[in-house]
Amino acid sequence: EAIAEAEEALTKAIREDSSNLNAWIALFQLHAEIREDRQRAFNEMQKLSEQLSIDPLQKSFVLAQLNAAIGENTRAGELYERSIELAERAAPAVRSTVYLTAVGFLSTRRLERALELCRDLIVEVPESSVANIYLIRLLAMQDTRESLDEAVELQREIVATVGTSDQEQTRLLARLLAARAKLDELKQQTPIKSGRQIAAAIKRRMTSDYRPKASSSHRDQSEAIRLLESLVPRTADDAEMLAELYHERGQSLRAFNFYRESLRLEVPPPDHLVRFLDFWNEAYAVEGTYKPIADQYSGDLESYPDVASEWLRVSLQRVEREASATSESASSGEGSKNKSAAEVLDRFI
């Protein structure tokens, strides 16, 4: 009886306001989860939607969101495409709502289609700042040099308009620049194999007029650092990005200080602890510098059972690095390493 009353109340709510997405979802869940009849849930939704005397666009749009919410992504995609088609004749505000909601759904499923919709909307409604923000984020997700170039330029325009006092926009520009720098660094890591190439490079550096040029990645890193350091107050994520940028530039002490700032600004989540310990293993484990701090954060990471495998990985990596620094004989060093590794495994088990 209580279930029947709930069904009646939800059906009434939908008839009074067909755009009430929460009521649609609740009614679906009532059939699918409480009555444990998912097919009946679909049938009841279809029957109710056919009975409602509402605009076809509104019906299609609500059903698209409903299907997305319940995990019926194929059907949701079809309904979003139908909604987009119907929205072509709608008012600009309605078209913007439909397009942007569809973009949010498609961004993780059909990125190219989401980009196409964003561009179409910007052409039709140039003043849509939300569409421009969506476009920038989609371009960043595409993660190509061309897409990041476009995203950076679009974001520069926004920052130039709103000013650097808008910290969220400044933060986004810094992150786009850092992403572009990282992409360029990866492309530049092609090893030189030819002896002739090596000889030519050495000869060029020996000429009196040789001046090393700042790479585009170096310039992007510098600008990203400047923008992030201008933020007041900084977030933990800001400080961690600064640490990563300084680490990429070989400035370990600055990187260490910003990692510490990041870990002090909030209760550090496990992924932040892992990134700090990876950095410490690479930069300082051999010399043992700041070892008590590394011990502290390693202990913090060990307290998270869900990431025990990551704690084991960074701990064994540390054993490897520390063992390589021993001044004892090779056999003694190997024995010390094996003992330390055994202790780590005992704690893990």
- pLDDT, tens digit (0-9, with 9 covering 90-100), for 89-109: 888 888 898 999 999 999 999
- In this prediction, residues 65-72 reach a mean pLDDT of 82
Residue type, 293: I
Banded model confidence at residue 37, pLDDT cuts 50, 70, 90: low
Does residue 207 carry a pLDDT above 60?
A: no
CB atoms within 10 A of CB 32: 18
Least confident of 59-68, 193-202, 262-271: 193-202
* Residue 48 confidence (pLDDT) above 70: no
90: alpha, beta or left, given left = phi > 0 and alpha = psi -120 to 50?
Answer: beta
Query: Greatest CA separation found in the chain?
Result: 92
Where is pLDDT greater, at 339 or 279?
Answer: 279
**For residue 134, pLDDT beyond 80:** yes
Least trusted range by pLDDT, from 6-10, 71-75, 317-321 = 6-10
pLDDT score at 93: 87
Residue 206: per-residue pLDDT: 45
| CA separation for the pair 262, 242 (Å, rounded) | 9
> Average pLDDT in the 249-253 region?
95
CA distance 26 to 33: 10
Mean pLDDT of 44-52: 67
**Considering the chain, what percentage of its residues have pLDDT values greater than 70?**
78
pLDDT of residue 204: 47
Express each pLDDT in 152-171 by its tens digit: 999 999 899 888 788 999 99
Q: pTM value?
A: 0.73
Q: Which of 153, 160, 97, 104 is nearest to 125 (CA)?
A: 97
Classified as helix, coil or strand, 47 is: helix
**Mean pLDDT score, 30-51:** 68
What does the block give as tokens for 61? Answer: 């749009």
Is residue 136 over pLDDT 80?
yes
Torsion angle (degrees, nearest 10) of CA 145, 150, 153, 156: -100
